[in-house]
Homo-oligomer: A and B are copies of this chain.
Amino acid sequence: MPQPMRAVMRPEQTAFSETEGDHGTSLARALDRWTALLGADHVLAQGTDLEAYRQSTLPAAPSAWAVLRPGSRDQLIEALAIARECAVPLYPISRGRNWGYGDACPVTEGQVVVDLGRMNRILEVDPDLGYAVIEPGVTQGQLARYIEDNGLALCIDATGAGPETSLVGNVLERGYGHSPAGDRFRSICGLQVVLADGRVLETGFGHYQDAQASRVFPYGVGPVLDGLFTQSNFGIVTKMGLWLQPKPAVTQVFICSVEAESGIAGLVEDLRRLRLNGDLRSIVHIGNELRAFSGEGGFPLDRAREGPPLSPELRGELRRELGVGAWTAWGGLSGSSAQVAVARRAVKRALKKPGRKLVIMDERKLKLARVFARTSLGRGLRHKLDAVAAALDLVRGRPTDHFLTGVYWRRPGGRPAGDADPRTDGCGVLWLSPVMPMTGPAVTRFMALIAPIYAAHGFDLFVTLNLVTERALGAVLNIVYDKADPEEATRARGCYDQLLDSLMAEGLPPYRVGIQSMAQLDQGSDVFWDVAAEIKAALDPEGMIAPGRYQPGRARSQR
């Protein structure tokens, strides 16, 4: 068994103010040099600014020792040289909005967070070939706005995590959105990566001088290295080529709700056929009833004084009152009007069945419905139309934070007005994202596995099932808890751990994990993780970059 990591520090110290002895000294020395390099404004070693980075939607998270905010790649490389000399590892974040998975917090104590948010240049957008070249600090909202402001006939793939999230950060976590380019990993075309020793790697054709195809052909020649720099700690990505889609002439959203809980199996079978044969090209999202309820407001304490979970009776009442089914699938139909017409007919043919309701909405229909919703008859519609509008926005590449409302379910006071920031708003949420084959039986087994665990721990079951490839469903389980209540927070973590263990045992590992679960990824002796560790040892022998991140052995040794 290889032992690639040399421990460069002990993790006992949990914050700069408490550090002492050798490590305190080297950190202090490093901070002095970083301050000289970046300026005092961009080195946070104490105070409320640092505290904000240390907040998390998780029940508990390691604290950054300090935060650096380099303004350029060259500054980053110099900051890394100082880190190496002082043996203080760096933990890069793009915007730190990794809600439900660890936010801006490092995997272990004893790391200095490097916030790349100031490196937020849109370096190039090619309207004919359909790509952008961006830095890690560029947000979804920023690129969408840039395209709109410049009248380009392009659109981005947007996720539901809101306009302020980093594109690069999410793509490197292999997140997925709502458009035909929703499998975001497949939109990478050329990475620039700063390695632990300060070398700059360009993937694809990008390392060849004046390479003409580096943003249009992702693989280059020789081994494809891009995958190495996703969900890993092998380097710090400082630039990314990202494919954009032509702006579709027509965008519509279909919404298909299923009355009975058991109806999900048949729906998934129908959707798979539509997805495989190319009628549905966007990533479809299917939410359960709790996802729908939580979009309308917080937990109804007035009707369930004993707190979560909602009783089956109350869930039934809410379903009837809000007019939602046990499951609601929605997805975009976009393209030329002829393409959309074909997709629309195929969707109708496949999805219109007893026990389901199907609606297909576009901008025009939405406007009409809004007029109706202003009448007394349509009053109950308003919330629903907001959701439809948000869905239409997302599938058109306009980021919205509408769908973040659900994570406020247990926050005392619900969601405040203004932009959502679950971390600073004090929300408690754990996300868990197992992947399963896109078949009815797989979903039925999955639900039978998870529902009793939620119930046993006293939480409402929030789940979305997302058609992440033509063949796989990526589930997102939310454990939404009251972060102000320590008992509930502890219970949430217990629920999460049991879910993760049970899912791993059933052969349903997650596609991505939060910082608290890196150690569980290795289920014993596993050549895969050994090989990953050997690559880490080759590229970052001193463990300078994000020790423990997707590095189970290291994460385990530091618990």
- By a beta-carbon cutoff of 8 Å, the part of chain A in contact with chain B is 128-131, 174, 180, 185-186, 195, 199-203, 205, 207-213, 215-232, 234, 243, 245-246, 248, 272-273, 276-279, 281, 335-336, 338-339, 341-342, 345-346, 435-439, 442, 468-472, 474, 504, 506-513, 521, 523, 526-532, 534-535, 537-539, 550
Residue from B186, B209, B521 within 8 A of A507 (CB atoms): B209
Q: Output the least CB separation between A386 and chain B (Å).
A: 30
Q: When the two chains form their complex, are residues A531 and B201 in contact, meaning their CB atoms are under 8 A apart?
A: yes
Residue from B208, B234, B442, B528 within 8 A of A509 (CB atoms): B208
Q: When the two chains form their complex, are residues A439 and B523 in contact, meaning their CB atoms are under 8 A apart?
A: no
Q: When the two chains form their complex, are residues A472 and B226 in contact, meaning their CB atoms are under 8 A apart?
A: no
New A-B contacts (19) at CB < 8 Å, excluding given A218-B469, A220-B509, A228-B228: A129-B439, A130-B471, A174-B219, A186-B186, A207-B527, A210-B507, A212-B507, A213-B472, A216-B471, A217-B511, A219-B227, A220-B528, A221-B550, A224-B228, A225-B528, A248-B277, A277-B336, A278-B281, A537-B538
> In whole angstroms, what is the CA distance A28 to B191 when docked?
47
Kindly report which residue of chain B lies nearest to residue A130, judged by CB atoms. Answer: B276
Chain A to chain B contacts (Cβ below 8 Å), 22 pairs: A128-B272, A128-B439, A202-B528, A211-B507, A216-B435, A216-B437, A216-B471, A219-B230, A220-B509, A221-B509, A221-B512, A221-B550, A223-B229, A224-B231, A225-B228, A225-B528, A243-B470, A246-B277, A248-B277, A278-B339, A341-B342, A538-B538
Q: When the two chains form their complex, are residues A216 and B532 in contact, meaning their CB atoms are under 8 A apart?
A: no
Which chain B residues border A532 with CB–CB below 8 Å? 222-223, 225
Residue from B213, B345, B438 within 8 A of A508 (CB atoms): B213
Q: When the two chains form their complex, are residues B438 and A205 in contact, meaning their CB atoms are under 8 A apart?
A: no
List the 9 shortest-distance A-B pairs measured between CB atoms, nearest first: A224-B227, A210-B507, A216-B471, A217-B472, A207-B528, A538-B538, A223-B232, A216-B472, A213-B435
> In whole angstroms, what is the CA distance A470 to B126 when docked?
14
Most buried by B among A209, A281, A513: A209
Most buried by B among A248, A439, A471, A530: A471
Residue from B209, B223, B278, B468 within 8 A of A550 (CB atoms): B223
Most buried by B among A185, A228, A281: A228
Q: When the two chains form their complex, are residues A246 and B276 in contact, meaning their CB atoms are under 8 A apart?
A: yes
Residue from B129, B199, B227, B469 within 8 A of A471 (CB atoms): B129
Q: When the two chains form their complex, are residues B228 and A223 in contact, meaning their CB atoms are under 8 A apart?
A: yes
> In whole angstroms, what is the CA distance A521 to B531 when docked?
26
Which chain B residues border A277 with CB–CB below 8 Å? 246, 248, 335-336
> In whole angstroms, what is the CA distance A330 to B253 when docked?
34
Which chain B residues border A338 with CB–CB below 8 Å? 342, 345-346
Kindly report which residue of chain B lies nearest to residue A247, judged by CB atoms. Answer: B277
Q: When the two chains form their complex, are residues B128 and A435 in contact, meaning their CB atoms are under 8 A apart?
A: no
Q: When the two chains form their complex, are residues B219 and A511 in contact, meaning their CB atoms are under 8 A apart?
A: yes
Q: When the two chains form their complex, are residues A221 and B231 in contact, meaning their CB atoms are under 8 A apart?
A: yes
Q: When the two chains form their complex, are residues A222 and B232 in contact, meaning their CB atoms are under 8 A apart?
A: yes
Q: Output the least CB separation between A191 and chain B (Å).
A: 11
Kindly report which residue of chain B lies nearest to residue A507, judged by CB atoms. Answer: B210
> In whole angstroms, what is the CA distance A201 to B523 when docked?
15
Q: Output the least CB separation between A551 and chain B (Å).
A: 9
Which chain B residues border A215 with CB–CB below 8 Å? 471
Q: Output the least CB separation between A376 and chain B (Å).
A: 42
Which chain B residues border A195 with CB–CB below 8 Å? 527, 531
Which chain B residues border A341 with CB–CB below 8 Å? 342
Residue from B345, B474, B529 within 8 A of A217 (CB atoms): B474
Residue from B185, B207, B278, B526 within 8 A of A180 (CB atoms): B278
Q: When the two chains form their complex, are residues A200 and B527 in contact, meaning their CB atoms are under 8 A apart?
A: yes
Q: Output the least CB separation between A541 and chain B (Å).
A: 10
Which chain B residues border A472 with CB–CB below 8 Å? 213, 216-217
Q: When the two chains form their complex, are residues A129 and B437 in contact, meaning their CB atoms are under 8 A apart?
A: yes
> In whole angstroms, what is the CA distance A509 to B211 when docked?
7
Given A208-B507, A278-B281, A523-B208, A223–B471 Cβ distance below 8 Å?
Answer: no
> In whole angstroms, what is the CA distance A233 to B533 when docked?
19
